[in-house]
Structure 1
Amino acid sequence: MPAQSLIIDCDPGQDDAVAILLALGSPQDVELLAVTAVAGNVPLTRTQENARSVVSLAGRQDVPVYAGSDRPLVRPLVTAEYVHGKTGLDGADLPSPAQPLAGGHASQAIIDIVRSRPERSVTICPVGPMTNVALAMRLAPDIVPRIRQIVLMGGAIGLGNITPAAEFNIYVDPHAADIVFRSGVPLVMHGLDVTHKARCTPERLERIADLGTAVGRAVYGMLTFYGKYDQHRGAGGGAPLHDPCAVAYVIQPDLFGGRDCHVAIEVASEPSIGRTLVDWGGVTGQAANCKVIDTIDDDRFFEMLTERLARL
């Protein structure tokens, strides 16, 4: 099959970085058209620079990186340096970006790319807050039916990880998520229920380190630092590798399983704002708007990830 056309919208973040590298190591499966950066794990000044550093690490300065929104649509920005470190990519000595930012706002880049490509040919992978994607939809409603699918990392069927109700990416900009989930674009959601099954065990990290490449060393360092947060919390089994799950689904969807559900975003109740209300049992009678992923073949996932990183 021809490679799928892909935009990664992200807030790097160590796991975002690995998601970008997974896409860049899979050119036969995905054509990475652009990386668009948004504020989230760290502020936009960091996320746009981090995205360019990761692209430079892979030697792919041909992939444009656009800076987007520096704050959510409505709420103040919440960041997660307590997980990712001050830079967002602590744990690795990455190269300085070898290319400047591409001109223009990330949301306009999304609009231009989707309009320029054949209808329903572009997949968007938001693995951070969905501010850029929601703005693109509001600025140019004509692109909505042209998008092939949105494969996102965010949400949860069950409990959250920043509040008892909400997962971080959705919590940071729930109003943007609400726009995306109401858009009618085919959605595939990788929430905490599946990403917590993709654990960076010491054995899996050692296999990445054993690649002996600059990319392997950088990923090992980043994910070792990233895992400290879960260690401090007393969570065993290694840190969950959230964002690469979404890109892996685009490459090899048979690694995952899930169910078509109706999903709504809570935007009104402050104690539960950002919760993804997943109608897993079909009790509301509302039509499904999202494929919600809940299973992963984690051994095959890490085998594929390590093999693709080895290509860079």
Structure 2
Amino acid sequence: MTTRPIIIDTDPGIDDAVALAIALYSEQLDVRLITTVAGNVSLEKVTKNALRLLEFFGKDVPVALGAARPLIKAPIDASDIHGSTGMDGFDFKEPTQDRVLKEHAVNAMYRVIMASEQPTTLVPIGPLTNIALLLTMYPDVKEKIDEIVLMGGSTTRGNMGVMSEFNIAADPEAAKIVFQSNLPVVMVGLDVGWKALVYPEDSEQLKGMNQTGGMIYQLFQKYRGGSMKTGLKMYDSCAIAYLLKPEMFQVVETFVDVELNGSMTAGCTVVDLRGYLKQPSNAKVCVDIDPDMFKQWFMESLGKCN
């Protein structure tokens, strides 16, 4: 089986942890590098979380530290959703530093992408700071990127502001660079994640499924992305779902830009579904998901973990 080389850029994060588990245990994906970016919590904390997860999974994937703050704006975080550490709820072993590269994430991404015989897919599931820096510092890398499949943005309302989703709002200038990159971009947004739910009965099933399921069950007790009663929202797993089972999504090609200056709408992804702006399409946007297909895929995927 031909595997797809990917780099995951992440800010773990409880839902990031679930997405990483599915990607790392997938036989269809070759996770060649994990890069970290400040987002859900600080760069130091998210990097420690990435290392904790790799240690838990027993996966030897290199980790490179990226941007500790956005390109321009002041940092924000989501510790109210994920807890003060970013992954409250499970007692992880203290990770070793063996997997940490000495080079910056942007340099590591460039090296790994350029050395690959196959084009690499970038999968950012946090703020887009590292990706924007990569494309700006090393424009020749674009020739070796297959596509960028990102979790972020919204076609409707937000979860950080009235119109802004967290990953985009955390660094809107970086997001604008990515959408204007002339690369194939897939936006798997907030409003799709609202339908990708894990219900209490699913969580109970995870609890006894395997070691990974038990860990995720405990993390879910502290996760505030939805609720255990009404369903937990698996935003970041949707990006991995698009890679592995794109038929569960309804997708449209359209023009997307990022609002930078609106006093009440900064960080909004302007998804021009009706062509008002008369601009050529620059992204594939997931506008709907089959929730039943997602849940079946989600549970089956986690069942393949150790």
Where on the TM-score scale, by shorter chain, does this alignment land: which range? over 0.9
Alignment of 1:230 onto 2:223: no
More displaced 10-residue stretch of structure 1: 82-91 or 109-118: 109-118
Residue 295 of structure 1: how far off its partner (Å): 1.6
Residue 102 of structure 2 corresponds to 103
- Asked if 1:297 corresponds to 2:290, the answer is yes
Give 1:99 shift.
4.1
Offset at residue 66 of structure 1 (A): 1.0
**Number of the residue aligned with 1:283:** 276
| Structure 2 partner of 1:271 | 264
Alignment correspondent of 1:220: 217
> 2:37 corresponds to which residue?
38
Task: Give SS of 1:270's match.
Answer: coil
1:194 aligns with 2:187: no
**How large is the Cα RMSD of the aligned pairs?**
1.5
| Deviation for aligned residue 1:255 | 1.7
Q: Deviations over 1:56-103 (max 9, x none)?
A: 11110x211111110000011101111100110011122222443122
What is the aligned partner in structure 2 of residue 123 from structure 1? Answer: 121
CA shift, 1:20, in A, is: 0.6
**Contact preservation (8 Å) 2:146, 2:184:** yes
Structure 2: unaligned runs, 5 residues or longer: none
Whether 1:254 and 2:253 are equivalent positions in the alignment is no
TM-score of the two chains, using structure 1 as the length reference: 0.94
Q: Can you list the C-alpha shifts for 1:250-289, whole angstroms capped at 9, x where unaligned?
A: 1111121111110001112232111000001122221111
SS at match of 2:5: strand
Q: Which amino acid aligns with 2:92?
A: L
Aligned pair in 2 of structure 1 residues 192, 51: CA closer, same or farther (>3 Å)?
Answer: same
List gaps (5 residues or longer) in structure 1.
none
Partner of 1:23: 23
- Give, in whole Å, the separation in 1 of the partners of 2:177 and 2:137: 12
How many Å separate the matches in 2 of 1:145 and 1:184?
11
Which amino acid in the other structure matches residue 286 of structure 2? I
- Classify the secondary structure of the residue corresponding to 2:32: strand
Q: Distance in 1 between matches of 2:274 and 2:199?
A: 32
Q: Is the 8 A contact 1:110 1:133 kept in 2?
A: no
Percent of matched pairs sharing the same residue: 38
Q: Deviations over 1:170-197 (max 9, x none)?
A: 0000000011000011011111111100
Instruction: Give the match for residue 50 of structure 2.
Output: 51
Tell me the number of residue pairs that the alignment of Structure 1 and Structure 2 aligns: 304
Question: Residues of 1 paired with 2:146 and 2:211: CA distance?
Answer: 34
SS in structure 2 opposite 1:271?
coil
CA contact 2:199–2:229 (8 Å) conserved in 1: no
Counting only pairs closer than 5 Å after superposition, residues 62-141 of structure 1 correspond to structure 2 as 62-100=60-98, 101-118=100-117, 121-141=119-139
The answer to whether structure 1 residue 5 and structure 2 residue 5 are counterparts is yes
